[in-house]
Every structure is written in structure tokens, then in C-alpha cells.
């Protein structure tokens, strides 16, 4: 909560007359400012507030303390804390705020709360929003820096406890070089003393390492990396799947630098290929390296150390990100680089024959275009790398990205009865930025530069729309899988003779199902419902999953019903998921 003038006066141990005398104003005039809410935002009110703050020391225990101690870390209290809280007052709260609130207000002796996830996903904002609801005289915020260690931090926590502070929010705690090996002191000592300790950081792997030993069964964890469309739309007031595809996965509201060297470049994490490359390096690749350096056991992810040190970890990640099926197999990294987006666009444009633009992508210098693209996204051929990559490297990258919540396996099913892994990237901006980089590279081609402007716009639009269409399928499937109760399953279904349903939702309780096609289009046409109207395909589904209770097309247009198929606006559909 925000401290009022009255609360501040009481914390100073003054009555109204004493306060007015100190401020050099009449008691009645002072009372007007203390009691009239309309004056709270005036310049005069703030001047009175600031002067009163400088009076003596706040009463934080039964006795008035003569002075605050010399802290060893970056501790923020009082006025500074209020400024932090005010800086995020205009932002909405993430869905996971209720979990944090439950921890802070509940009984969790012997446990700390861990708030972790990738950069730009609202961790620091969540901390500031939570501390704004607590008594300011009992709350402290600590911004950890690389020069700190657990000894310095615990000295400050002890001093804060003796001063009467009962809530400590510690940001970027995994920057402590000894955090993994000493984290238990927070839960076993300070939490048991009655302090509520909330820690945050970008180093998901570092927290996982601490949880395996030091913090085993001693923490409540909140992961912020995945931001579903409904939450993105609510927080940023942007109800557009295209915007979510282009910039999704991060929130641009968390721009508080606090000497963070990575914050300066961040307006939107995926606004262009350069910021995306830097985001992947700082938020993902460097994250891995930091944990490896500080994990003194080092038995889990050491295979990745050399890749990072040689500057080749981003190559592995981007190779998999741009691959059509995001397959974590060695040949995806070792084979000669091909742009799946470029190949798909070439095939799509052939449908425009006999128009001349249909063959433009066959006439450009594809080799040079791909060389430029590789340079932008830092992809290398096998002959250009120094580390001999093995399947074990690939498996470790996959395991780490799973821990980061960057990828999710949404298994697809086949008519034959088998199931196969279907990897979906939760940070859509990473994937889309690679498509934008391809368009940029294409625009530099001499032949492409010579064609009519209308054809340029059409072809580049076709490339990006094709990518958005495939990404939208993944986004819908991922969010339905995450939101579905245990009595329901959502999956892509593929038929032996060809064709697929983009999504099937199977209700195991009622023994029926719904089938979906997912389209990026804003218009309707018969092709969109071709499979949904295929009696043989529908019969195969009903034999496996019971009666079909509904046939749907999710698209960007308006809701309508036509020929037994319900068209639903995909943005409304995603916002309706709980």
C-alpha cells in the first residue's frame, strides 16, 4: 500500500500540532492536507510529504532508532521503495500474481518464494506490485549485483530483521556466485525467523540446481516465462494475434534498468532481428553459461559450456527454431542450412501461375539470400564450427529449453495409433523474427529489387503470412493443452492417406470430441472446411474418440455458421481459455 501523510506522521512519532510546528504551518492548514484526499496529488502535498520524511528516523520498532545501518548490498527502503511501487502502479497484474500474494499473506514458515523466468516477462514488475500492498516500514527490496555473495546478503537480512522488517524481496539473486550451494540459509534461517522472503531471477537452471539440493521442498515456485495470448491482450490492451506472433512471449513494460546492461536495448525484445539475436544470447545462451560457472557440481549441462564459449550455442538454438518441425535431432544442426520458410513460399507462389510473380523466388540468388540470413541469425555450416556437436549436445539444449518453458511437447496422433513428439515454441517472437530476417535478406537481392513494388509486397506478405499461419496453429494447440483439464486432451491428428485435423479436443468423461481447422485468414472459403466435411476422415475420428460434437474453423474474422461448421474468431477463442 502507498503510505499516506497521516501514516508518515505517526511513523515519526508526532501528533498533528508537533508536525505542523516542524513544517512551519498552522495546525488547521496541516490538517487540511492530511484529511482532504483531493490534495493528495498536489505539488504542495508532495513538498510537505518530502519535508516530513526528513524528520528524524522512522519508528520501525518500539523505540526510535538513531540511525540506519551501513548495508553491504543494494537495499532499498522507505522513499525509494515507494518510488519503485509507483513506477508500476499503472500496469495490470499477471495471472500468477495471486500465487505470489497467497505466499506473502499465508503461512509458509521454512519456505521461500522463487519467481523465475526469462527477461522481459514481468518478474520485477510483480515484485514491485506485491511490495506496494505491504507496510512500507516493514518491507525491503534488494537488487543483487555480481559483486555480492551470500555472506553480504545475509548480513543485510539480519540487520533488516533487527530493524523490524518482515518482508524482503531479493531481485536477480542467482547473480550470487554461491547461491546454488548456500540458498538453504534463506529458508532454514530467515523464513523460520518469520521473514517472508521472495527471490527472483532469470537463471531458471540456477534455481533448478538449488532446488535439487539446498532448497529441496523448501520453496514455492512461480514461473513467468510463458505468457498466454489472453494475458498478453489484457496486460498490454492489444487484442491481436498478429501482434502476439510478432512480439509475443515478452512484456515491454518491464524496462527498469537497475544497472542491468541488457535493459538499454530493450524496447520490445523481438522488434527486429538484431534485438532477437541479442535476446537469445543474453536471456538464453548467457543464462546457461552463468549457471555452469556457478554450479560447482557441474554434472548436468557441462556439454554446453564449450558451445557457448566458442560462440556456437546460438547456432544450435536457431537451427532448431527455424526448422519446420522443430526437431531436436543431430541432422537438423549438421545438414546444409536450408530456409524452410523460403522453400514453403516458393511452393505457395506457384499457385499464382501464370502470373510472372509465381516464379520470382526461383529467379533470385537463393545462395546469397541464405548466406545473408545465416549471418543475421548466427547460423553456421558444419564446416564453419569448431565444436563437434553430438546428439548429447542436442538433448541437453532440449532439456534446458524445456526447463525454461521455451518449448512444450504437444504430442500429435496418427491414424495408425502411434503418437509422435510435436515441439511448440512458446516465445513466438523468436520464431517470427527469423522469418522477418529472411524477408530483409530477400529485399537485398538485385533481381528482387527490380520487380514491381506491388509484387514485392505480395511476395514478402506471402512469406510472413505463411509463417504466421503455421505459428497460429502451434499457439492455439499450446494454449489449449495448457488450459485443458485432466479430463480432456488436445492434439493434432494426422491421417495415413494424407491430410490432418489441426486440433482435436477429446473429452474423456463424455466420450466425445470436437474437431478444428486453424487459419490465419480473415476471410472464409470452402477449402478451409475440406477435411471437416470429409465423411471418411470424420468416421475415423468418431471410431477412436466418440461422436463429433462440433466442427470449427478458428480464424481472424467474425463468428458465423455455414454448412455445418462453426467459424469462431481465434482471438476471442484464445481469450476465453481459462
Are residues 196 and 132 both part of a single domain?
A: yes
Are residues 80 and 217 both part of a single domain?
A: yes
Region for residue 546 given its phi and psi (left: phi exceeds 0; alpha: psi -120 to 50; beta: otherwise): left
What pTM, to 2 d.p., does this model score?
0.78
Q: What is the pLDDT of residue 267?
A: 40
Q: Is residue 556 part of a domain?
A: yes
| Alpha carbon separation from 305 to 300, 301, 308 (Å, rounded) | 11, 7, 5
The per-residue pLDDT for range 50-89, each reduced to its tens digit, is 778 777 644 444 333 334 568 899 899 988 888 888 888 8
Are residues 91 and 154 both part of a single domain?
A: yes
Closest CA to 513 of 485, 478, 481, 538: 538
Contact between 1 and 105 (Cβ < 8 Å): no
Are residues 325 and 382 both part of a single domain?
A: yes
Q: Is residue 248 part of a domain?
A: no
Are residues 437 and 493 both part of a single domain?
A: no
Q: How confident is the model at residue 43 (pLDDT cuts 50, 70, 90)?
A: low
Model confidence at 273: pLDDT above 90: no
- Tracing cell 531458471 back to the chain, one arrives at 204
Exposed, middle or buried: residue 169 (CB in 10 Å: 0-12, 13-18, 19+)?
A: buried
Are residues 352 and 375 both part of a single domain?
A: yes
Total Cβ atoms within 10 A of residue 461: 11
Model confidence at 393: pLDDT above 90: no
Contact between 380 and 315 (Cβ < 8 Å): yes
Q: Answer with the one of 189, 209, 224 that is the final residue of a domain.
A: 224
Are residues 451 and 561 both part of a single domain?
A: no
- Strand order, beta sheet including 488-494: 419-420, 412-414, 488-494, 500-507, 512-518, 548-555, 565-569, 560-562
Q: Is residue 27 part of a domain?
A: yes
Considering its fold, how many domains does the chain have in total? 4
Is the four-CA dihedral 165, 171, 174, 178 of positive or negative sign? Answer: negative
Enclosing H/E stretch for 254: none
| Alpha carbon separation from 106 to 98, 103, 412, 417 (Å, rounded) | 12, 5, 41, 47
| Higher per-residue confidence, 92 vs 48 | 92
Closest CA to 423 of 474, 482, 488: 474
| Alpha carbon separation from 32 to 1, 21, 39, 96, 515 (Å, rounded) | 22, 15, 8, 40, 65
Model confidence at 387: pLDDT above 80: yes
Are residues 462 and 566 both part of a single domain?
A: no
Percent helix, strand, coil in the chain, to 5, is 50, 15, 35
Q: What is the pLDDT of residue 64?
A: 34
Q: Is residue 416 part of a domain?
A: no
Average pLDDT score over residue span 28-57: 77
Q: What CATH number is given to the structural domain containing 540?
A: 3.40.1350
Q: How confident is the model at residue 229 (pLDDT cuts 50, 70, 90)?
A: very high
The per-residue pLDDT for range 443-483, each reduced to its tens digit, is 999 999 999 999 999 999 999 999 999 999 999 999 999 99
Closest CA to 87 of 141, 9, 138, 35: 141
Are residues 91 and 202 both part of a single domain?
A: yes
Model confidence at 257: pLDDT above 50: no
Q: What CATH number is given to the structural domain containing 184?
A: 3.40.50.300
- Tracing cell 546454488 back to the chain, one arrives at 180
| Alpha carbon separation from 362 to 16, 341, 365, 368, 372 (Å, rounded) | 83, 14, 8, 13, 17
Contact between 304 and 393 (Cβ < 8 Å): yes
Q: Is residue 415 part of a domain?
A: no
Average pLDDT score over residue span 543-551: 97
Q: What is the pLDDT of residue 230?
A: 95
The per-residue pLDDT for range 130-183, each reduced to its tens digit, is 999 999 999 999 999 888 999 999 999 999 999 999 999 999 898 888 887 889
Lowest mean pLDDT among 96-105, 148-157, 374-383: 374-383
Q: How confident is the model at residue 487 (pLDDT cuts 50, 70, 90)?
A: very high
Q: Is residue 59 part of a domain?
A: no
Q: Which domain holds residue 191?
A: 74-224
Q: What is the DSSP letter of 528?
A: G
Q: At what angle do helices 313-322 and 428-443 cross, to 10 degrees?
A: 90
Three-state secondary structure of 163-227: CCCCEEEEECHHHCCCHHHHCHHHHHHHHCCCCEEEEEECCHHHHHHHHHCCCCCCEEEEECCCC
Model confidence at 490: pLDDT above 80: yes
Are residues 194 and 80 both part of a single domain?
A: yes
Contact between 440 and 273 (Cβ < 8 Å): yes
Are residues 458 and 552 both part of a single domain?
A: no
Q: Is residue 63 part of a domain?
A: no
| Alpha carbon separation from 325 to 74, 330, 408 (Å, rounded) | 45, 14, 13
Are residues 34 and 121 both part of a single domain?
A: no
Q: At what angle do helices 78-87 and 123-131 cross, to 10 degrees?
A: 120
Q: Is residue 532 part of a domain?
A: yes
Total Cβ atoms within 10 A of residue 388: 9
Amino acid at each position: 500500500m502507498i503510505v499516506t501523510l497521516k501514516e508518515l506522521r505517526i511513523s515519526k512519532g508526532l501528533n498533528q500540532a508537533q508536525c505542523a510546528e516542524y513544517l512551519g504551518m498552522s495546525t488547521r492548514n496541516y490538517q487540511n492536507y492530511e484529511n482532504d484526499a483531493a490534495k493528495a496529488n498536489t505539488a504542495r502535498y508532495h513538498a510537505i510529504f518530502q519535508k516530513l520524511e526528513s524528520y528524524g528516523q522512522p519508528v520501525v520498532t518500539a523505540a526510535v532508532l538513531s540511525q540506519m545501518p551501513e548495508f553491504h548490498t543494494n537495499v532499498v527502503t522507505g522513499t525509494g521503495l515507494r518510488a519503485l511501487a509507483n513506477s508500476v502502479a499503472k500496469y495490470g497484474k499477471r495471472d500468477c500474481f495471486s500465487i505470489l500474494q497467497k505466499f506473502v499473506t499465508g503461512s509458509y514458515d521454512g519456505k521461500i518464494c522463487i519467481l523465475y523466468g526469462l527477461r522481459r516477462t514481468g518478474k520485477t514488475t510483480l515484485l514491485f506490485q506485491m511490495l506496494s500492498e505491504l507496510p512500507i516500514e516493514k518491507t525491503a527490496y534488494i537488487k543483487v549485483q555480481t559483486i555480492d555473495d551470500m555472506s553480504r546478503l545475509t548480513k543485510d537480512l539480519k540487520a533488516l530483521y533487527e530493524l523490524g522488517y518482515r518482508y524482503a524481496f531479493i531481485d536477480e539473486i542467482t547473480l550470487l556466485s554461491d547461491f546454488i550451494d548456500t540458498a538453504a540459509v534463506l529458508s532454514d534461517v530467515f523464513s523460520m525467523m518469520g521473514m517472508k522472503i521472495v527471490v527472483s531471477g532469470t537463471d531458471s537452471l540456477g534455481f533448478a540446481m538449488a532446488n535439487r539440493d539446498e532448497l529441496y521442498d523448501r520453496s514455492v515456485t512461480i514461473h513467468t516465462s510463458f505468457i498466454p495470448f489472453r494475458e498478453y491482450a489484457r496486460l498490454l490492451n492489444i487484442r491481436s494475434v498478429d501482434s502476439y506472433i510478432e512480439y509475443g512471449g515478452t512484456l515491454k513494460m518491464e524496462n527498469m534498468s537497475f544497472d542491468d546492461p541488457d535493459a538499454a536495448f530493450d524496447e520490445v525484445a523481438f522488434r527486429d532481428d538484431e534485438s532477437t539475436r541479442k535476446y537469445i544470447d543474453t536471456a538464453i545462451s548467457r543464462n546457461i553459461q552463468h549457471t555452469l560457472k556457478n554450479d560447482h557440481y557441474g554434472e548436468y549441462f557441462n556439454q554446453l559450456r564449450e558451445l557457448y564459449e566458442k560462440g556456437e550455442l546460438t547456432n544450435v538454438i536457431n537451427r532448431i527454431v527455424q526448422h519446420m518441425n522443430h526437431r531436436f535431432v543431430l541432422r537438423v544442426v549438421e545438414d546444409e542450412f536450408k530456409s524452410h520458410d523460403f522453400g514453403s513460399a516458393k511452393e505457395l507462389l506457384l499457385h499464382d501461375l501464370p502470373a510472372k510473380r509465381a516464379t520470382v523466388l526461383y529467379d533470385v540468388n537463393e545462395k546469397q539470400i541464405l548466406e545473408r540470413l545465416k549471418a543475421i541469425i548466427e547460423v553456421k555450416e558444419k564446416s564453419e564450427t569448431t565444436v563437434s556437436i553430438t546428439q548429447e549436445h542436442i538433448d541437453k539444449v532440449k532439456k534446458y529449453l524445456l526447463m525454461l518453458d521455451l518449448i512444450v511437447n504437444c504430442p500429435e496422433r496418427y491414424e495408425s495409433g502411434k503418437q509422435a513428439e510435436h515441439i511448440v515454441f512458446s516465445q513466438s517472437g523468436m520464431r517470427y523474427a527469423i522469418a522477418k530476417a529472411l524477408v530483409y535478406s530477400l529485399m537485398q537481392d538485385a533481381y528482387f529489387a527490380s520487380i514491381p513494388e506491388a509484387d514485392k509486397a505480395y511476395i514478402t506478405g506471402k512469406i510472413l503470412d505463411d509463417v504466421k499461419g503455421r505459428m497460429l496453429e502451434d499457439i492455439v494447440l499450446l494454449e489449449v493443452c495448457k488450459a485443458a483439464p485432466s479430463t480432456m486432451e488436445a492434439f493434432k491428428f494426422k491421417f495415413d492417406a494424407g491430410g490432418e485435423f489441426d486440433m482435436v479436443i477429446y473429452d474423456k468423461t463424455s466420450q466425445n470430441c470436437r474437431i478444428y481447422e486453424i487459419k490465419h485468414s480473415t476471410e472464409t472459403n470452402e477449402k478451409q472446411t475440406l477435411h471437416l466435411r470429409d465423411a471418411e476422415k470424420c468416421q475415423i475420428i468418431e471410431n477412436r474418440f466418440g461422436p463429433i460434437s462440433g466442427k470449427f474453423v478458428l480464424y481472424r474474422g467474425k463468428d458465423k455458421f455455414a454448412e455445418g461448421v462453426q467459424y469462431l474468431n481465434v482471438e476471442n477463442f484464445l481469450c476465453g481459455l481459462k
